[in-house]
């Protein structure tokens, strides 16, 4: 389950361009970039340096913590012997931080006997642009898998990867500052119920792998969120947005069983076209538990660019038995995340923007029946596709209610109460205005009658 946010790029011709941005470990002056948006109800989970005293994580809650360089952070899970549990960890380097290509995080889940149940890692990649980095761990109950199958205590272990220092542009070693070494973390554990009855484990080999044509509708303005919990809800169609260098935008798409997601991102042109930034635009698809499905990226030379995710199979429960990703990651229905990042180095060569962004989303396939879970997931309805969230308008801020990404659960009960109260108040106000208008009209009519009586016509 290892991956890195580092794409292969054809740069042979680009290496001859003196102005190409191929940075060493140097700090990048970031434009004004919105900070990562944690969940409104996020809980605190202090990192422990060992298993003793590790904070307990409850599936369905979201936690905020921090990771110090050269330290491991431990968290505890108390698991039953029937559910699959997934834990995503998003690390947030400081905007403008000095990073090396190998800087990142690793995440593993271990049992009480130090057996590793799963592991995943992610690095910032060749662009060295500070951005949210997400890796995940799992305790899965799969037929024929003998490890980590029992109920009991398990641990989530998060570790900073990279040396903490690297070669600067002059070839010397440059130590990271204390601020650059301390990263905020967001942890999101989720529990998946077992099935009510056994299902097939044979993964279909045939699926429509043709590259779909991106939709060409007129774009509808939308404002991408600043984190997973504030991801802007979008459906099939075309959306327009803006992005500044160093910014990461989050969108979520409801994908039901049997549906096949494809996405394209277009980046608008700049005022100048001299120079080149390698690995400038990144597009990553995450599944509902925030595991990476597929990613792609492209460089930028000031002219408009377009990048599309490679075709991926339909969402099916049986995909979990596939040997490799992306098929293996397409195992749940629910909200899939499209995450777009524009490298901070773009500002150095082409200005701070904002740059026009167009997101094109298509859903193929046909909706199929679910696998038949024995009970609800935690959080409830997590692997269901219900009524879509309202799409936030471009005028709404990143922290507005429309971009909160509360999902199909129905929103905050307090806000429902405010809405109901507002409707009641509005109705009462309309009644008062109606009475006032009727009274005014009657008074005017009476006055006119008095005038007519005093000045009779012939």
Give tens-digit pLDDT for 77-95: 999 999 999 999 999 999 8
For residue 133, what are the β-bridge partners?
Answer: 91
Reported as half-sphere exposure (CB side, CA atoms, 13 A), residue 212 has a value of 21
Whole-angstrom Cα distance, residue 377 to residue 288? 12
Closest C-alpha to 317, from 199, 191, 140: 199
pLDDT tens-digit readout, 223-255: 999 999 999 999 999 999 999 999 999 999 999
| Better-predicted residue by pLDDT, 220 or 176 | 220
| Better-predicted residue by pLDDT, 443 or 323 | 323
Closest C-alpha to 364, from 298, 412, 312, 421: 312
Mean pLDDT of the chain: 82
Confidence tier at 274 by pLDDT (50, 70, 90): confident
Predicted local confidence at residue 181, as pLDDT = 81
In SS3 terms, the chain reads as: CECCCCCCCCCCCHHHCCCEECCCCCCCCCCCCCCCCCCCCCEECCCECCCCCCEECCCCCCEEEEEECCCEEEEEEEECCCCEEEEEEEEECCCCCCCCCCCEEEEEEEECCCCEEEEEEEECCCCCCCCCEEEEEEECCCCCCCCCCCCEEEEEEEEEECCCEEECCCCCEEECCHHHHEEEEEEEEEEECCECCCCCCCCCCCCCCCCCCCCCCCCEECCCECCHHHCEECCCEEEEEEECCCCEEEEEEEECCCEEEEEEEEECCCCCCCCEEEEEEEEEEECCCCCEEEEEEEEECCCCEEEECCCCCCCCHHHHHCCCCCHHHCCCCEEEEEEEEECCCHHHHHCCCCEEEEEEEEEEECCCCCCCECCCCECCCCCCCCCCCCCCCCCCCCCCHHHCCCHHHCCCHHHHHHHHHHHHHHHHHHHHHHHHHHHHHHHHHHHHHHHHHHCCCC
Share of the chain above pLDDT 70, in %: 74
Closest C-alpha to 136, from 103, 109, 101, 104: 109
pLDDT mean over 200-229:
95
- Look at the block and give the residue holding tokens 């361009």: 17
Predicted local confidence at residue 163, as pLDDT = 62
Predicted local confidence at residue 432, as pLDDT = 40
Whole-angstrom Cα distance, residue 346 to residue 301? 9
pLDDT mean over 417-421:
43
Predicted local confidence at residue 176, as pLDDT = 59
Whole-angstrom Cα distance, residue 95 to residue 244? 12
Confidence tier at 142 by pLDDT (50, 70, 90): confident
Predicted local confidence at residue 177, as pLDDT = 66
Predicted local confidence at residue 292, as pLDDT = 98
pLDDT mean over 39-49:
96
In SS3 terms, 93-112 reads as: CCCCCCCCCCCEEEEEEEEC
Quick check: 245 and 352 in contact, CB under 8 A? yes
Reported as half-sphere exposure (CB side, CA atoms, 13 A), residue 256 has a value of 13
Please tell me the least confidently modeled range out of 61-65, 78-82, 119-123, 422-426.
Answer: 422-426
Q: What is the largest CA-CA distance in the chain?
A: 111
Distance between the two ends of the chain, CA-based, in angstroms? 100
pLDDT tens-digit readout, 347-360: 999 999 999 999 99
Task: Check whether 368 has a pLDDT greater than 90.
Answer: yes
Predicted local confidence at residue 69, as pLDDT = 79
Predicted local confidence at residue 6, as pLDDT = 44
CA angle, residues 329, 326, 373, in degrees to nearest 5: 25
Pairing of the two strands 355-365 and 237-243: antiparallel
Confidence tier at 73 by pLDDT (50, 70, 90): very high
Q: Taking the mean position of all CA atoms in its chain, how far away is CA 235?
A: 15
Predicted local confidence at residue 96, as pLDDT = 87
Task: Check whether 401 has a pLDDT greater than 50.
Answer: no
Share of the chain above pLDDT 90, in %: 67
Task: Check whether 419 has a pLDDT greater than 80.
Answer: no
Residue 347 CB burial class (10 angstroms; 0-12, 13-18, ≥19) = buried
pLDDT mean over 304-322:
97
Residue 289: C-alpha distances to residues 20, 51, 80, 81, 90 (Å): 37, 24, 19, 20, 12
Confidence tier at 391 by pLDDT (50, 70, 90): low
Confidence tier at 175 by pLDDT (50, 70, 90): low
Task: Check whether 110 has a pLDDT greater than 70.
Answer: yes
Whole-angstrom Cα distance, residue 194 to residue 85? 11
How much is the pTM?
0.79
Predicted local confidence at residue 14, as pLDDT = 36
Predicted local confidence at residue 417, as pLDDT = 43
Task: Check whether 7 has a pLDDT greater than 70.
Answer: no
Whole-angstrom Cα distance, residue 22 to residue 122? 20
pLDDT tens-digit readout, 182-197: 999 999 999 999 999 9
* Tokens standing for residue 130: 């500070």
Whole-angstrom Cα distance, residue 20 to residue 302? 12
- Look at the block and give the residue holding tokens 């905050």: 412
pLDDT mean over 442-451:
41
Task: Check whether 3 has a pLDDT greater than 50.
Answer: no
Predicted local confidence at residue 162, as pLDDT = 85
Quick check: 85 and 77 in contact, CB under 8 A? yes
Quick check: 230 and 404 in contact, CB under 8 A? yes
């Amino acid at each position: 389950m290892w991956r890195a946010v580092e794409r292969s790029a054809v740069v042979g011709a680009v290496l001859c361009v003196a102005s190409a941005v191929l940075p060493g470990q140097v700090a990048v002056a970031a434009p004004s970039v919105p900070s990562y948006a944690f969940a409104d109800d996020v809980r605190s989970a202090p990192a422990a340096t060992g298993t003793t005293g590790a904070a307990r994580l409850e599936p369905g809650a979201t936690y905020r913590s921090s990771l110090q360089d050269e330290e491991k952070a431990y968290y505890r899970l108390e698991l039953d012997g029937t559910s699959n549990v997934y834990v995503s960890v998003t690390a947030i380097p400081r905007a403008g931080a000095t990073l090396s290509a190998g800087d990142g995080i690793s995440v593993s889940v271990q049992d009480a006997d130090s057996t590793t149940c799963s592991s995943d890692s992610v690095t910032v990649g060749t662009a060295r642009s500070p951005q949210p980095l997400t890796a995940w761990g799992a305790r899965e109950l799969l037929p024929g898998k003998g490890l980590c199958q029992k109920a009991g205590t398990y641990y989530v272990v998060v570790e900073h990867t990279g040396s903490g220092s690297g070669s600067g542009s002059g070839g010397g070693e440059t130590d990271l500052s204390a601020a650059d070494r301390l990263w905020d973390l967001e942890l999101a554990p989720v529990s998946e119920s077992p099935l009510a009855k056994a299902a097939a484990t044979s993964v279909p080999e045939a699926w429509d792998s043709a590259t779909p044509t991106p939709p060409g509708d007129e774009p509808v303005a939308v404002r991408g969120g600043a984190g997973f919990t504030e991801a802007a809800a979008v459906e099939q169609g075309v959306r327009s947005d803006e992005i500044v260098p160093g910014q990461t935008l989050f969108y979520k798409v409801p994908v039901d069983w049997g549906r096949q997601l494809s996405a394209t991102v277009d980046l608008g042109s700049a005022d100048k076209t001299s120079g080149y930034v390698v690995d400038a635009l990144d597009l990553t698809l995450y599944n509902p538990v925030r595991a990476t499905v597929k990613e792609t990226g492209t460089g930028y030379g000031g002219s408009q660019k377009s990048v599309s995710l490679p075709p991926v199979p339909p969402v099916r429960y049986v995909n979990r038995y596939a040997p490799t990703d992306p098929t293996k990651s397409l195992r749940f229905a629910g909200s899939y995340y499209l995450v777009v990042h524009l490298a901070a180095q773009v500002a150095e060569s082409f200005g701070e923007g904002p740059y026009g962004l167009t997101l094109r989303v298509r859903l193929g396939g046909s909706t199929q029946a679910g696998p038949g879970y024995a009970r609800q997931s935690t959080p409830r309805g997590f692997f269901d596709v219900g009524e879509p969230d309202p799409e936030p308008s471009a005028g709404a801020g990143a922290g507005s209610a429309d971009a909160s990404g509360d999902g199909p659960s129905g929103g905050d009960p307090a806000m429902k109460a405010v809405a109901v109260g507002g409707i009641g108040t509005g109705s009462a106000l309309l009644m008062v205005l109606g009475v006032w208008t009727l009274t005014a009209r009657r008074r005017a009519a009476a006055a006119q009658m008095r005038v007519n009586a005093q000045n009779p016509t012939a």
